[in-house]
Structure 1
Amino acid sequence: MRPGTEIVMTDAATRRIGDVDAYRRTLVAAAYRMLGTLADAEDAAQEAYVRWLRLDAGEREAIENPGGWLMRVTGRICLDVLGSARVRHETYVGEWLPETIPVGTASGDPAAVVVGAEEVSTALLLVLETLTPAERVAFVLHEVFAVPFAEIAGVLGRSAAACRQLAASASRHVGRRAGAGVPRSRHDELIAAFAAASASGSLDALVRVLAPDVVLVSDGGGIVSAARRPVRGADHVARFLLGLAAKQPTATYEPAITGDGLGYAIRVDGVIVAAVTFATDGERITDVWMMRNPEKLSAWV
Structure 2
Amino acid sequence: MLFSIAYGMTGSVGDAEDLVQDAYLGLTRAQQSGTAIGNVKAYLTTSVTRLGINHLGSARVRRETYVGDWLPEPVVVAADRTGPVEHAELSDSLSMAFLVLLETLAPAERAVFVLREVFGYGYPEVARIVGKSEANCRQIFARARKRIAPGAQSADLAPPPPARRTESEELARKFFAAAEGGDMDALLGMLAPEVVFQGDGGGKARAIARSETEPRRIAQMLVGGFRRVRILGASLRPAWVNGRPGGVTYDAEGRVASVVELDVADGMIRAIHAVSNPDKLGHLGPVSDIGRLPQR
With the shorter chain as reference, the TM-score category is: 0.7 to 0.9
- CA gap 1:69/1:267 in 2 versus in 1, 3 angstroms: same
Structure 1 position 178 matched with structure 2 position 162: no
Matched position secondary structure for 2:127: helix
Structure 1 position 277 matched with structure 2 position 261: yes
Alignment of 1:14-93 (within 5 A): 26-55=1-30, 57-60=32-35, 62-93=36-67
Structure 1 position 300 matched with structure 2 position 284: yes
TM-score by length of 1: 0.80
Instruction: Percent identity, please.
Output: 36
Could you tell me which residue of structure 2 aligns to residue 246 of structure 1? Answer: 227
- CA gap 1:172/1:190 in 2 versus in 1, 3 angstroms: farther
- Alignment-mate amino acid for residue 263 of structure 1: G
Match of 2:181 among 200, 205, 215: 200
TM-score by length of 2: 0.82
Aligned partners of 1:169 and 1:268: how far apart in 2?
A: 45
Aligned partners of 2:16 and 2:83: how far apart in 1?
A: 19
Q: Deviations over 1:58-94 (max 9, x none)?
A: 544x111112111101111111122233222111122
Could you tell me which residue of structure 1 aligns to residue 196 of structure 2? Answer: 215
Q: Is the 8 A contact 1:260 1:277 kept in 2?
A: no
Matched position secondary structure for 1:71: helix
Shift of 1:180: 4.6
- Alignment-mate amino acid for residue 187 of structure 2: L
Aligned partners of 2:10 and 2:18: how far apart in 1?
A: 11
- CA gap 1:164/1:105 in 2 versus in 1, 3 angstroms: farther
Q: Is the 8 A contact 1:101 1:299 kept in 2?
A: no
Matched position secondary structure for 1:248: helix
Match of 1:228 among 209, 217, 232: 209
Matched position secondary structure for 1:131: coil
- Alignment-mate amino acid for residue 187 of structure 1: S
Aligned partners of 1:36 and 1:174: how far apart in 2?
A: 16
- CA gap 1:205/1:142 in 2 versus in 1, 3 angstroms: closer
Q: Deviations over 1:185-219 (max 9, x none)?
A: 44333322212211221233322322334221111
Shift of 1:274: 0.8
Q: Is the 8 A contact 1:105 1:300 kept in 2?
A: no
Higher mean alpha-carbon deviation, 187-196 vs 69-78, is at 187-196
Aligned partners of 2:170 and 2:145: how far apart in 1?
A: 30
Match of 1:258 among 236, 241, 265: 241
Shift of 1:300: 3.1
Higher mean alpha-carbon deviation, 88-97 vs 162-171, is at 162-171
- CA gap 1:176/1:215 in 2 versus in 1, 3 angstroms: closer
Shift of 1:177: 3.5
RMSD of aligned residue pairs (Cα, Å): 2.5
Structure 1 position 130 matched with structure 2 position 114: no
When Rg is computed on C-alpha atoms for both structures, the one with the higher figure is 1
**Number of corresponding residues:** 272
Instruction: Give ranges in structure 1 of 5+ residues lacking alignment.
Output: 1-25
- CA gap 1:69/1:146 in 2 versus in 1, 3 angstroms: farther
